[in-house]
Amino acid sequence: MTTNSPTKITATSEKEIIHIVARQRDYFKSGATKSYQSRIENLNKLKSALVRYESEIHAALKQDLGKPAFEAYLSETGFSLLDISETISKLKRWMKPKRTLTSLLTQPGSSRMYYSPLGVNLIIAPYNYPINLTFSPLTAAIAAGNTAVIKTSEMTPACSAVIRTLISETFTPEFIAYIEGEVQETTLLLQQKFDHIFFTGSPRVGSIVMSAAAKNLTPVTLELGGKNPCIVHEDAKLDIAVKRIVSGKFLNAGQTCIAPDYVLVHKSIKEAFLSKLKDRIISVYGEDAMASPDFARIKGVAKIGCLYRKIKTLPMKSPFSVFELNLLIFNDICKYFATPLHSER
């Protein structure tokens, strides 16, 4: 078990939040964010900042989530940098008006579709991919000519501290602002009028976000968790199947919304599948995953308890063999998931 000194989270007052949103609305109305040149300049500034802070970001990911360096680059910084580069290369084409059909009612004439920025955006990032799901939606917001207010999870204080510093050094708060705090600050933000809200998290909190947005008819993008079955039939190539399943499930210790969270295995290959799955896990992470430098950790003792309670209720008999991957892990190698990275009070 590793114990790290907690990073202090400073609360943001309601007055400050109202002031920041108002300043951003005035800045957006000035037209400063709308030109192609402005968007490209700010995307390049964001890209340079991410490169400059890459080592600090990776260290924070290690502290908050136990992410190994390669995984941090693959799923966080590298992903975000690629997203920015792709956006820069295609932005001019995306901004061009597009010809579209003209209805008979409005003939004679011609029609074009113009893409206009919405205004002040709110980005609420989750704990599991705090860098990727902060900077990828921010990239989209900047590319579309918007301003943005960012609120990260209180569960990743080290990452939040780096994001706060990066944002404050790179952009002015009337353009991109970082709001520090916990649940109370998120609640206060949702009481403000935004022009678009991007939220990643659970369906339960997503419904709260959507309800708050509906009061102002604010459009939302909700990236929520779901169920992701993985079917392994009798004719499957098991060596390939277990490699893909282990890769998808164990990335970020399974804390990925599209990770396979249960497997439907044909009964004729059940034992062979289980044997190969266990062998693959050990070949990647070793006999003692706690000592592996390539394995992240579940964030929070409460989440581990919730996971364990869920496992205890799983059905064990079915026409097909139905197994949660986490159950397989707890049966034979419980410690792979059940060790929190930090001690918590």
User: Residues with catalytic annotation?
Assistant: 223, 257
Q: In what order do the strands lie in the sheet with 176-179?
A: 176-179, 147-151, 120-124, 196-201, 220-224
Paired with 282 in beta bridges are: none
Residues contacting 278, CB < 8 A, separation 6+ = 328, 332, 333
Q: What CA–CA distance (Å, rounded) separates 282 from 239? A: 14
**Tokens describing residue 99:** 């010809």
Strands (E) located in 140-261: 147-151, 176-179, 196-201, 220-224, 229-232
CB atoms within 10 A of CB 93: 7
Under 8 Å between Cβ of 344 and 300 = yes
CB atoms within 10 A of CB 89: 9
Which residue do the tokens 């994001």 mark? 163
3-class DSSP assignment, residue 339: coil
CA dihedral 30, 33, 36, 41 (to 10 degrees): 130
In angstroms, what CA-CA distances link 321 with 107, 272, 327, 329?
Answer: 63, 12, 13, 16
Under 8 Å between Cβ of 180 and 9 = yes
Residues contacting 99, CB < 8 A, separation 6+ = 110, 111, 112, 113
**Tokens describing residue 122:** 């709110």
